[in-house]
Structure 1
Amino acid sequence: MTTPSRPGTAVVTGAAGGLGRAIAAALHADGWQVLLTDVDPTAVAAAAVPLGGWSGPLDVRDEAACAAVAARAAERGRLGLWVNNAGILATGPSWTQDAATRRRIVEVNALGAMNGTLAALDVMRRQGAGHVLNVVSLAGLVAAPGETVYAASKHALIAFSLGTLADLRAAGVRDVHVSCLCPDGIWTPMLHDRLDDPGAAASFTGTLLSAERVAARAARLARRPRPVVTVPRWRGAQVRLLDALPGLAIRLTPVVLAVGRAGQRRQRRRLTGGPRT
C-alpha cells in the first residue's frame, strides 16, 4: 500500500503551455508550491504568473541544470514531487527521419526524463520521501504506427521508470515513488498541427482528451502513487491486449490507421463547423 503524497514543492517540466501548464495549475489548486520550468523562459514565466509566479528555464537534456532545479525547489521546503512532462513528437516511418531528429526525440523524451528523475531522486532519497511522476503516453505501452521513434522513446521511459522503482524497493527505499501516467491523445499544441498529418493518425484513434482531464488525473496520482496509470482506463486495457499479441497488432495496423484518419476528419469538422475530407 502506497502512502499518499503530502503537498510540498513540486517541479513540472515543459510547463509553458499545453499539458504541462494544465498539470501545474491542477497541482497549484491542490496545494502544491509549483516551480514551472521550460526551455522557453519567457513563456514559462508568463504561465507561472497566476500560479504563484515561480518559474525558471530548463533544458531537460542538461543533467547539471536538472540537478540545479531540484536543489532550488528543495530550498523552499521538502521536494515532494517532480513531474517529467517535457516531450516532443515527430511522425513518419523511422527511415524517413534523419539522425538529428531521432536523437532529439530520444534525448528529450527518454534521456531528459531520466535526468529529471535522477536529479529528483538525489534529493528525495536524502529526504527519505518523494514522488517522481513521468508523463509517458499510451504509445509507451504499444508500438504506434507512424510514431515509431516517439513510441520507442516512451517505451524506454516506461522501462526506466519501473526498473528504477524496483531498484528503490530492492535498496530498501519505501517512501520514494515513481509513477507513469499514460494518456491517450490530448488536444494540445502537440496535436493541433497534426490534423492533416497521416503519420499522426494513431493519436486520433480514440476520443481526444482535454489537458485539464489528464491534469486532474495527474494531481490525483501525485497524491496516491501507482506504477502505471492509463487515461482512459479502457484504452489502457485495449493497448495492453495488442502489446500481448504483437502479430495481431501488426495485422490490424491498416484498421488502426483507418480509424485514426477518420478521427482526424471528425476533429477537422468540429473545428470548421462543417464537412471536410
Structure 2
Amino acid sequence: MMAKGNGGVVVITGASSGVGRACAEAFAARGWHVVLAARRAEELNEVARRCRARGTGRALPVPTDVTDAAAVDRLAQEAVAAFGRIDVWLNNAAVAAFGALDEIPADVCRKVIDTDVMGYVYGARAALTAMRRQGSGTLINVSSVVGASPVPYNAPYAVAKAAVRALGTSLRQELWLEGHRDVHVCTVLPATMDTPFFQSAANYSGRKVTPMAPVYTPERAARTILRLARSPRRESYVGPAAAVLACWTKFFPGPTEKVLAYQMNRAHLSRTESAPDTAGTVPHPLPGGAVRGGWGGTRRTAGRRLATAALATGVGYAVLRSACGRRPSACGRVRARGRD
C-alpha cells in the first residue's frame, strides 16, 4: 500500500487546464510521478514540462479522449507499464452546455453525458482493475456542487455531476462487499472555480455565462485532492459555499430549488451581455491551457469567509421567504433578456 506521505503514481484526466492542471503541478511538486491525459497533445506536453521543472518525479503525457473506452484502457496500461502501478486516479475531464434543454442540440447533450459520465465510468473501470490487482489505490471523481444542488439552464452537466456522485457511492459499496479495504473511492464537490471552464463551455442561452460568487482558486481544489490522496474520505466539498448550498438543499429542498433558479437566471447568465450560440470544447478541444479563467478566485481567508457568510445569509433569507410563500419574481425563459 502507498505510504500516506508524498510520492506515488497519479493519473489525471483533464490535465491540460483548470483544476486538472493545478493538480498535476501540485502532485509533481510533492515528488509524485504524474500521468497526464487530455485531448490536446500540445498543452499536455507543456504541462509535463512544467511538472518536471517543479518536482523530482517523472511526467508522462498521454493524449486521451475519455469518451473512447479503449483509449482510457490504453492510458491505464501505459501508466502501469511506465511505473508499475497506479496509486491515485483522478477523473476530472468535463465539459458543459448552457441553455434551456430544448435549445441545446441533442448531439451536444449526448457529448456532455459521454464525457462527464461515461468518461468517468471508463476511468473507474480501468483504475479499479489495476487497484484491485495491486491491492490498494484511490479513485477520486470530481463532481460539482450542482451534483448536490442542481441549477437550471445547465441540465446536461447537472445530470452528469449527480451521476458521478452516485457512481462513487455504488463503487464504494461494491469494494466493501468484495473486501477491498485498501481501495478507496472519493468524490469531490467543488463550488465555482476560477478556471477557463465558463469560456470554453457550449452556450445556447443567448447570454454570456459568468460564474456565481464566491469563486475559488483551482489551487484550493488541488489541495483538497492532495489531502484525499493521503487520507481518503467519502466526499469532500471545495469551498465553504458548496457545503452551504448542499446543506440548504438537504434541509429545505423546495425553497432552495426556487432560490437557485432565481440566482442562476440573475447572476450566472449575464443580464446585459449577449453571446452567440457555440458548441465550445464539447465536440473538439480548442487552443489554450491556462490554470485560471480570470474570474478572480478568492485567496484571502477573510474574503472567503465574507463571501460565504453573504451567500449563506442571502440564500437562507431567500429560502425562508420562499418557504413562507413569498416567491422570487419569475424571469421567464432564459432568452427573455438575451436574444430571441
State the TM-score bracket (shorter-chain normalisation): 0.7 to 0.9
The structure with more helix, counted as a fraction of residues:
1
Q: Distance in 2 between matches of 1:261 and 1:62?
A: 32
Q: Distance in 2 between matches of 1:88 and 1:193?
A: 8
Q: Residue 138 of structure 1 corresponds to which residue in structure 2?
A: 145
Structure 2 residue 87 is matched with structure 1 residue 77: no
Letter in 2 for 1:247: G
TM-score (norm 1): 0.87
Return closer, same or farther for 1:110/1:18 CA change in 2, 3 Å cut-off: same
Local SS of the residue matching 2:34:
strand
The equivalences for 1:100-119 within 5 A come to 100-119=107-126
Local SS of the residue matching 2:97:
coil
Q: Distance in 2 between matches of 1:268 and 1:74?
A: 36
User: Is the Cα contact below 8 Å between 2:215 and 2:295 reproduced in 1?
Assistant: no
Q: Distance in 2 between matches of 1:269 and 1:94?
A: 26
Q: Distance in 2 between matches of 1:21 and 1:184?
A: 18
Q: Residue 275 of structure 1 corresponds to which residue in structure 2?
A: none
The equivalences for 1:168-179 within 5 A come to 168-179=175-186
Q: Distance in 2 between matches of 1:14 and 1:193?
A: 13
TM-score (norm 2): 0.71
Q: Residue 7 of structure 2 corresponds to which residue in structure 1?
A: 7
User: Is the Cα contact below 8 Å between 2:141 and 2:168 reproduced in 1?
Assistant: yes
Instruction: Provide Cα deviations, 1:78-131, integer angstroms capped at 9, x if missing partner.
Output: 210110110001111211111101100000001101100110000000000001
Letter in 2 for 1:153: A
User: Is the Cα contact below 8 Å between 2:191 and 2:241 reproduced in 1?
Assistant: no
User: Is the Cα contact below 8 Å between 1:5 and 1:224 reproduced in 2?
Assistant: no
The equivalences for 1:13-32 within 5 A come to 13-32=13-32
User: Is the Cα contact below 8 Å between 2:37 and 2:61 reproduced in 1?
Assistant: yes
Instruction: Provide Cα deviations, 1:123-145, integer angstroms capped at 9, x if missing partner.
Output: 00000000111111111111112
Q: Residue 62 of structure 1 corresponds to which residue in structure 2?
A: 68
Q: Which of 102, 106, 122 lines up with 1:95 in the alignment?
A: 102
Compare CA radii of gyration and give the structure with the larger one: 2
Identity among equivalent pairs (%): 29
Letter in 2 for 1:225: P
Deviation at 1:9, TM superposition (A): 1.1
The equivalences for 1:1-277 within 5 A come to 4=4, 7-52=7-52, 53-75=59-81, 76-192=83-199, 198=207, 200=209, 203-204=211-212, 206-257=213-264, 260-261=267-268
User: Is the Cα contact below 8 Å between 1:13 and 1:36 reproduced in 2?
Assistant: yes
Deviation at 1:262, TM superposition (A): 9.5
Query: Runs of 5+ in structure 1 lacking a partner?
Result: 271-277
Query: Runs of 5+ in structure 2 lacking a partner?
Result: 53-58, 273-292, 297-340
User: Is the Cα contact below 8 Å between 1:5 and 1:80 reproduced in 2?
Assistant: no
> How many matched pairs?
266
- RMSD in angstroms over aligned alpha carbons? 2.8
